[in-house]
Structures are given as structure tokens and as C-alpha cells.
Chains A and B, each alone.
Chain A
């Protein structure tokens, strides 16, 4: 599905990712973990084309996406839920979803499917996005990305700052999406969430892939979490 091959990326002269390679398969949740500054969010931005790849290549189903602008990458089927949600605060929930649906000319079927995943949003359709609670905003950010019916969904710390009930809901949503065949690349710092939703875990250290492990072989006390994440 999504193949990241020996990618170098960074900001200006500063290189953050060094020859990083990963592959995310259809119907798989690949969690990316690492300390602050390890390059997790830069990896997401590089996949989306928001940070230029200085070397290496990115391919989606064999189609090279390296060097494409972000809007073209999104149109190819990569959805992105960035850290901090970044909604269109002045628009209503309905309008936020509509903008997602319009982007790839999706209609009522997709809208109904997305709202079935987040019934609470259905009750808030007319409400301005900035007036939603943190959890509801995160739901809306995920829902809007799903309006594009992405093949691959990138999620950058979606549970950050949420109350436990919302975290549970986000975990369930991730599992539901995996069941539909979406490939999910999830940056997450919560070990319990990772253990509940991940199929594989990629540990990043200073912009390099340090280790990739099968999630079934990990538990909360696994040395990798202490070594690469510091928890």
C-alpha cells in the first residue's frame, strides 16, 4: 500500500529523517513511536508532501508520490489528521464535513458512513466547529479526513489531551477503520493505546528506524518503550 523507501527529509538545511524506510499494508495499523524530536511528525508531513523529501521515495500502490504537492497527495488517497486537529473553526460541523466530501466529490453515502462512526457529530451538525469540546473536535478532524475515503490514513497523536472516554472511542474508531481495509499510520505516545490497536510498532530514534516489532510480542513492560520512548 504505502511504501517509504530510504527517505531523507527536514526543514531547510536541517535534516530530521535519515534514510527511513517503512511499509504500511492495507488493513494494518502501524504505530510510530519515539521521543520528542525523533521525527514522527516530520515523517507524516513528508508523506503528505508538506516537508520536501531530500532523498528516497514514497509510493502509494506503486504510484510515486515523492515531490507531489500536498493537495495532489491527498487526491491520490492519503488522508491526514494532524496534531492539534486544525479544523475550520468558523464553519459548522456540517460545512467542515461538506468540504471534505466536495474535495473528492463524495456524496450522501460517505457522509452517512462517517456519521455512523461518530453519532455525536450528527447531533452537532449545525454547531460551529470551534465551539465543540476537544474530543468532538478530534472526532470531526478524523471524520473530515474519512470523507475523502482514503486508502491510507495518517493520524498524528489523535488521543493527545483527550478524556478517557474519548480515547476509548478513538481506539474503537481506529479498529473499525482497520476492519474496512484502510491502512493506518498512527503516531502515538500512549503505550496502552498502542498495545490495543497496533499490528506493528515502528520505533524511531533521531530520525532513523531503530526497530520494528510485532505488537503481539510487546507488553507494557517491553524494554523498547523505555529505550526509544522513555516511558
Chain B
């Protein structure tokens, strides 16, 4: 099973921790965003990479976290910690609610149904302009971003916070996929009918996986809102359902660290391509084409297949 060990994960987290002091300011700021988005991708991987649920609706769960935390901070006046918890819970609840309906379908139908839910959520955000401020979005006031006297707009503060969140998510994912429940999820991905004949209820297993995945998306969305002080409809668009899928595919579906690797690579690929041309997506597309040809199971997935078994 693609589980990997604790040691390489600890090594990756150690390198990221060192980045707090070693990275130049530009990359330091980038890594904050990458770690938050990698948390999102790690959760997506639980549904897609480990359970085989190809969702195109995760933008809804990310947005639930984003707006859940923003409303908790601005309307209810909750402190950032409570707002983060509210956003995380909103993501998990949204995923569970969507799952109850969408998991009655499978395969392409599941993709379409989840996409429809996410699009409905995005349209609702646009339609509820008086509260969500639509495309313009909500800008969180500085007071809502002060955590125990620390300013969350300061990179020196949000880097360790992003790292702590990402580390918690990554370690929880490692624990989950190495647990018995994780094996059942993989069994469901490998052969749902066979798992059913062993007495497992696919609906319950997949619903649990989707709810966990949504909780990750909610946490990432909430952290994004609180750290970058913004929640807008663009972050709930279909692009934010496709991006985690790409990150996971690039890094390696069903590998623990693959989503981070994919997110890191894609982030810098887009960043570099945009410095060369305005046709950024053309270069990104070519790079992805090369990757698909030479590493069809993603970077870590292919390396593991070629014998580097210790990669997480």
C-alpha cells in the first residue's frame, strides 16, 4: 500500500521548518500560501487518491471554510482560533451534506453532480452579494486577524502557523492511510464490489472519506481567509476544484507527500511561466504533458514504482 514512513514525512516538515529562517522573503511568503494550499490538496488526496472519489466539487468545501471563518470573524466577532474551527467544521459539514446526495452516483455522474453543487455554491456566493460582497469579496479587518497579540498578516507569524496546520494535516493523513480505516478506503478504490462482498458498506466508507476530505478543505479555506485576509467568489470557482486534482495528479495520487510536491511544483511553474509570457497556461500545459508522458503516476507515484519505496 502507498503509505510510506514517518521518517521522510518528518524530514520534509523539518526542511519546511528550516525555511522559516533560511528562505528569502519572496519564497518565504510563497511557502505560506503553498502550505495552506497543500493542506487542501492533502485532503483532496484522501478522497481521490486513497478512496477513488473523483470530485469536482471541492471548491464548495474550500469556500465553506473560507466564508465560514470570515463570517465567524466579521459577523460573530469570534477570535481567529474559533473562526478557524468554524470554517473547518463548515467544510466538513458541506462535504457530508453533498456526499449524502452525490454518493448515490458513481464515476462520471459523481463528478458531474459534485461539480453542479460547487457551481451552485459559487452562484449563491455571487447572488448573496449583500453578505458575501460577490466578486469583490470580503476583506477581513486587522482586528479579526490578531491571534493572541500576533498579527496574521505578518509572514514571520503566519509561516509557522501555516506549517503547524500543514504538519497536523500531513501527519493525520499518514496516520489515517496506515490505519485499518485507510486500508478499507484503498480497498474501496481498488475494487468496490469486492469490498462490498466482504461486508463493507461502500456508502458509509466513501461518505466518511469525503467528509474528512471536506474538513481538510474547510481548514485550508479558513486558514486562507485568516492569513491572507480575503474571501472572494473567485476562490469558490471551478478552478479551485480542478487545481487540487492537478496538484494531486502531478505529485502522485495515493502518496502522502505527493500533493505537497504537486502544489509546490505547479505554483512555481505558473510563477516562472508568467515571467516569460502572458500565455502562462500554454507553458504549464506543455509541462504537464511531459509529466504525464514520463511520470504517469505523478512524481512520487512514479518514483515509488521505480523502486524508491521509502518515499511517503
Interfacial residues, chain A to chain B (CB-CB below 8 A): 48, 50, 69-71, 74-75, 80, 82, 86-92, 95, 98-100, 102-104, 144-145, 147-148
Task: Report A53 CB to chain B, min CB distance, Å.
Answer: 17
Q: 12 more A-B contacts (CB under 8 A) besides A50-B197, A71-B201?
A: A50-B196, A71-B196, A71-B202, A74-B197, A82-B194, A86-B191, A88-B191, A89-B190, A99-B195, A99-B198, A144-B198, A145-B198
Secondary structure at the B interface, as helix, strand, loop or mixed, is helix
Task: Report A213 CB to chain B, min CB distance, Å.
Answer: 29
Task: Report B79 CB to chain A, min CB distance, Å.
Answer: 41
Task: Report B93 CB to chain A, min CB distance, Å.
Answer: 26
Report the 3 A-B pairs with minimum CB-CB distance, sorted nearest first. A103-B199, A74-B199, A88-B190
Give 27 A-B contacts (CB < 8 Å), ordered by A residue: A50-B193, A50-B196, A50-B197, A69-B201, A70-B193, A70-B196, A70-B197, A71-B198, A71-B202, A74-B198, A74-B199, A75-B199, A86-B191, A86-B194, A87-B191, A88-B186, A88-B190, A91-B1, A91-B186, A98-B183, A100-B198, A102-B180, A102-B184, A103-B200, A145-B198, A148-B198, A148-B199
With CB as the reference atom, state the residue of chain B lying closest to A70. Answer: B196
Q: For A98, list chain B residues within 8 Å (CB).
A: 180, 183
Number of contacts between A and B (CB, 8 Å)? 69
Write out, one digit per residue, whether chain B residues 142-167 have a CB within 8 A of any chain A CB (1) or not (0): 00000000000000000000000000
Interfacial residues, chain B to chain A (CB-CB below 8 A): 1-2, 180, 183-184, 186-187, 190-191, 193-202, 254
- CB <8 Å contact, A90 and B200: no
In the complex, A86 Cα to B187 Cα: how many Å? 11
Q: For A90, list chain B residues within 8 Å (CB).
A: 1-2, 186, 190, 254
In the complex, A8 Cα to B166 Cα: how many Å? 55
Q: For B2, list chain A residues within 8 Å (CB).
A: 90
With beta carbons under 8 angstroms apart, the residue of B186, B190, B193, B199 that contacts A104 is B199
- CB <8 Å contact, B196 and A99: no
Q: For A102, list chain B residues within 8 Å (CB).
A: 180, 183-184
With CB as the reference atom, state the residue of chain A lying closest to B205. Answer: A71
Task: Report B273 CB to chain A, min CB distance, Å.
Answer: 34
In the complex, A98 Cα to B190 Cα: how many Å? 15
Q: For B194, list chain A residues within 8 Å (CB).
A: 82, 86-88
- CB <8 Å contact, A95 and B183: yes
In the complex, A100 Cα to B199 Cα: how many Å? 8
Task: Report B185 CB to chain A, min CB distance, Å.
Answer: 10
Q: For A70, list chain B residues within 8 Å (CB).
A: 193, 196-197
Q: For A147, list chain B residues within 8 Å (CB).
A: 198
With beta carbons under 8 angstroms apart, the residue of A80, A91, A148 that contacts B183 is A91
In the complex, A147 Cα to B194 Cα: how many Å? 14
Q: For A103, list chain B residues within 8 Å (CB).
A: 198-200
In the complex, A74 Cα to B198 Cα: how many Å? 6
In the complex, A147 Cα to B198 Cα: how many Å? 9
- Report which residue of B1, B190, B193 has the largest number of chain A beta carbons within 10 angstroms of its beta carbon: B190
